[in-house]
Structure 1
Amino acid sequence: MKSSILASVATSAAGALAAGGAWQQCGGIGWNGDKTCISGYSCVYSNDWYSQCLPGAAAPTTLSTSTTSKVSTTSSTSTKSSAAPTATPTTTPAGKFKWFGANEAGAEFGNDVFPGTWGKHFTFPDNAAVQTLIGQGYNIFRVAFSMERATPNTLTGALDTAYIKNLTDSINYITNAGAYAILDPHNFGRFYGNVITDTSAFQTWWNTIAKQFASNSKVIFDTNNEYHDMDQNLVLNLNQAAINGIRAAGATSQYIFVEGNSWSGAWTWNTTNTNLAALSDPQNKIVYEMHQYLDSDGSGTSTACVSTTIGVERVVGATAWLRANGKQGIIGEFAGGANSACQTAVKGLLDHLKTNSDVWTGALWWAAGPWWGDYIYGFEPPSGTGYTYYNSLLKTYTP
């Protein structure tokens, strides 16, 4: 359901007494608001912290909620969970995105061969394709790369000069053209396949990388791509170590995007990554990066979307979490198949984010890059499957 529809429903229900509007929260631990829903909606339990007014009931209903259970701080729930969204935001006037763009994949390819050979196992973004997207209004690009190629052998080792030069050239091309470039170590919280547990070494790694880009104000640091199946406190501590290392490197003007456990999924964020609200940055430039796909298991591996409303349904809980905690977020990866149902779901997702632009700063499509071929979501101009089907829609959301 598009956010414009949600807004009109919420407005018409504003005068209802003791009844929550469509999609609004109606229960959960500590909830003191309405516990009934407007006609046609029922208060559906999602977890001990959230219940929500969902379509399906002919009359208002009530729900008793537990006040004893607690959410574990060591959850390792995968985004492949089928958990439903758990809260809905307060609708705000439509705004404008700060950032809207695409991921640039390639430098992280060939992750079963290290260090690998440029042009054979991995590649870097095509500047001409990037310029095409910039020319159409896209203003942010998330450039994936490999930690193992940046600092071979150890987290605290020296930089690989050739790899870093090529990465830097790509970043500089983007920023010199006026867009933002996100440095994305695409490692899933792992180094050579092993979960990173040494937060001090991780801080050193980020300090080394950040020194190379400290003077470029249009660079954004993404702490790590899609932590998953990890201790939740470790995810918190790794994110904080990255922030500390980046700021200690003299990179004080740039934004830092932090990611969460459970593949950084938006649809489980407010039940999995709640402790990340404790992250601190002396520059107050943290943005919470979440990813969201619209297929049945949320993995982003299918051209089929669950429904035309699944885009909104999977992010409303994250919207509520951001607003309740005074945070800002971005959807760092999203995509849908090249079909009308997915297009409607994608538009609904983006309309919702834009309507709630007080907490959502933008979104990036997954993914552009010169080696995608006929990949189902490929956004590389001029002939990528996702690009040819979605560009006319997506460029209407550019800042």
Structure 2
Amino acid sequence: MKFSILAGVFTAGALAQSGAWQQCGGQNYQGSTTCVSGYRCVYVNDWYSQCQPGAATTITTSTRSSSTSSAPTSTSTSNPGAKKFRWFGVNQSGAEFGSGKYPGTWGVEFIFPDNAAVQTLINQGYNTFRVSFSMERLVPNTLTSSFDAGYLRNLTNSVNFITNAGAWAVLDPHNYGRYYGNIITDTAAFRTFHTNLAKQFASNSRVIFDTNNEYNTMSQDLVLQLNQAAIDGIRAAGATSQYIWVEGNSWSGAWTWNTTNDNMKALTDPQNKLVYEMHQYLDSDGSGTTPTCVNDQIGVQRVIGATNWLRANGKIGVIGEFAGGANSVCQTAVTGLLNHLQENSDVWAGALWWAAGPWWGNYIFSFEPPSGTGYTNYNSLLRKYVP
């Protein structure tokens, strides 16, 4: 989820030219349709155009079909008979709260998952939990510095609780490709961070490593190199049995993956356990900041391009974040999304709702038992898809 970074991007986009890799067009988009020097506005789909490197031009949805009444044509072939997901669950968010307040105090600026709530979800069949954390709290000095013992202990306790219960724990450095707000450019240091982290969990086969949450507004080659550095670092630590989930630029959005992140197909892993993690929200700008879905088919519409990319390149994907508002349009759209993923289970391995956590309160998508808005409105729907 994009949080305040996204809000700042779209506010700026409405006032001036859109920056590198920012949105510049799409259905209901109100911002600038021109890009800064050296970038051009490239149509991705009816809901999203993006500033990508190249000669300046403007492409808006007026030059494309504006229909949103049905899903775009797919060249993919669905599997006869949907299979169960390998991974299906919920993000656990809280340890990354209090952005900018470092190191912060547990219980004041940030919180770790509630084990009782996690157990409730495990009892209902959810088997995967992506645990967000802050790199600045784990390594408070530099990316290569030693870990903060208390923060690591709390993170490890959360992960061990999940995996000891037989579920999967996804380690999610929730940093948007940044460290203390600055884009990470030192790939060697990034590799060292992942080596050091992986050493802590190398013996736990139920751990999954996520390279970083939602890289955005960065050089596309840098995103590729950071992901490869993370893969190399994890394997160098002796963590050879675990899956690695890699994320892409432009907030790892599924709806722009095939145009923005095509170079990610070059990633290599000696263990052949890479999974391409994409995120997809269903509101007009794809930010997941409103409970309104564009239409009841938008879930399918926004992932078909990614489905085709995965199949064409022989890759496996997972939707690491998705959600919908508490209304019938979104419930239909979410159902369509999950059905599509299951029907194409040769390339999609699962999906995780955003998000649960003790401090979400009345957040529009909260999946924290027993009374989170997302939990009360979607639990019965999502439980149909548990493995």
Question: TM-score range with shorter-chain normalisation?
Answer: 0.7 to 0.9
1:304 to 292, 304, 313: 292
2:235 counterpart letter in structure 1: R
1:268 to 256, 264, 282: 256
- 1:87: Cα distance to partner? 4.9
1:145 counterpart letter in structure 2: F
Q: Note if 1:152 corresponds to 2:140.
A: yes
- 1:74: Cα distance to partner? 9.1
Q: Deviations over 1:224-282 (max 9, x none)?
A: 00000000000000000000000000100000000000000000000000000000000
Distance across 1 between alignment mates of 2:85 and 2:75: 20
Q: Deviations over 1:182-205 (max 9, x none)?
A: 000000000000000000000001
1:333 is paired with a residue of what secondary structure?
strand
Return the TM-score normalized by structure 1: 0.80
Contact 2:42 2:52 in 1 (8 A): no
Distance across 2 between alignment mates of 1:74 and 1:138: 44
- 1:116: Cα distance to partner? 0.2
- 1:176: Cα distance to partner? 0.0
- 1:153: Cα distance to partner? 1.5
Contact 1:107 1:123 in 2 (8 A): yes
Contact 2:167 2:206 in 1 (8 A): yes
Contact 1:181 1:219 in 2 (8 A): yes
Which residue of structure 1 lines up, in the alignment, with residue 77 of structure 2? 90
Distance across 2 between alignment mates of 1:247 and 1:222: 13
2:276 to 263, 270, 288: 288
Which residue of structure 1 lines up, in the alignment, with residue 35 of structure 2? none
Runs in 1 of length 4+ with deviation above 3 angstroms?
A: 71-75, 81-88
Which residue of structure 1 lines up, in the alignment, with residue 121 of structure 2? 133
Contact 1:145 1:184 in 2 (8 A): yes
Which residue of structure 1 lines up, in the alignment, with residue 351 of structure 2? 363
1:337 is paired with a residue of what secondary structure?
coil
Q: Note if 1:393 corresponds to 2:387.
A: no
Relative to structure 1, the CA distance from residue 73 to residue 330 in structure 2 (aligned partners, 3 Å threshold; closer, same or farther) is farther
Relative to structure 1, the CA distance from residue 346 to residue 51 in structure 2 (aligned partners, 3 Å threshold; closer, same or farther) is closer
Q: Note if 1:349 corresponds to 2:344.
A: no
Distance across 2 between alignment mates of 1:47 and 1:189: 23
Contact 1:100 1:138 in 2 (8 A): yes
1:331 counterpart letter in structure 2: I
Residues 112-261 of structure 1 correspond to what in structure 2 (within 5 A)?
112-261=100-249
1:212 is paired with a residue of what secondary structure?
helix
Contact 2:214 2:248 in 1 (8 A): yes
2:113 is paired with a residue of what secondary structure?
coil
- 1:72: Cα distance to partner? 6.2
2:116 counterpart letter in structure 1: A
- 1:133: Cα distance to partner? 0.2
Q: Deviations over 1:43-69 (max 9, x none)?
A: xxx979x999xxxxxxxxxxxxxxxxx
Contact 1:88 1:319 in 2 (8 A): no
Gaps of 5+ in 2: 1-40, 56-60, 67-71
Distance across 2 between alignment mates of 1:114 and 1:86: 48
2:109 counterpart letter in structure 1: H
Distance across 1 between alignment mates of 2:52 and 2:362: 41
Gaps of 5+ in 1: 1-45, 53-70, 76-80
Distance across 2 between alignment mates of 1:360 and 1:203: 27
Computed over aligned residues only, the root mean square deviation of the Cα atoms, in angstroms, reads 2.2
Contact 1:51 1:87 in 2 (8 A): no
2:346 is paired with a residue of what secondary structure?
coil
Relative to structure 1, the CA distance from residue 51 to residue 196 in structure 2 (aligned partners, 3 Å threshold; closer, same or farther) is closer
Contact 1:184 1:222 in 2 (8 A): yes
Distance across 2 between alignment mates of 1:227 and 1:163: 24
Contact 2:100 2:180 in 1 (8 A): no
Aligned residues with identical type, % of pairs: 72
1:194 counterpart letter in structure 2: N
- 1:91: Cα distance to partner? 1.8
1:387 counterpart letter in structure 2: Y
1:170 counterpart letter in structure 2: S
2:310 is paired with a residue of what secondary structure?
helix
Distance across 2 between alignment mates of 1:73 and 1:219: 37
2:78 counterpart letter in structure 1: T
Relative to structure 1, the CA distance from residue 268 to residue 196 in structure 2 (aligned partners, 3 Å threshold; closer, same or farther) is same
- 1:95: Cα distance to partner? 1.6
Distance across 1 between alignment mates of 2:240 and 2:377: 39
Q: Deviations over 1:335-381 (max 9, x none)?
A: 00000000000000000000000000000000000000000000000
Return the TM-score normalized by structure 2: 0.82
Distance across 2 between alignment mates of 1:184 and 1:194: 18
Aligned length: 330
Distance across 1 between alignment mates of 2:191 and 2:246: 14
Relative to structure 1, the CA distance from residue 343 to residue 51 in structure 2 (aligned partners, 3 Å threshold; closer, same or farther) is closer
Relative to structure 1, the CA distance from residue 164 to residue 73 in structure 2 (aligned partners, 3 Å threshold; closer, same or farther) is farther
- 1:86: Cα distance to partner? 8.3
Distance across 2 between alignment mates of 1:155 and 1:177: 31
2:258 counterpart letter in structure 1: N
Which residue of structure 2 lines up, in the alignment, with residue 28 of structure 1? none
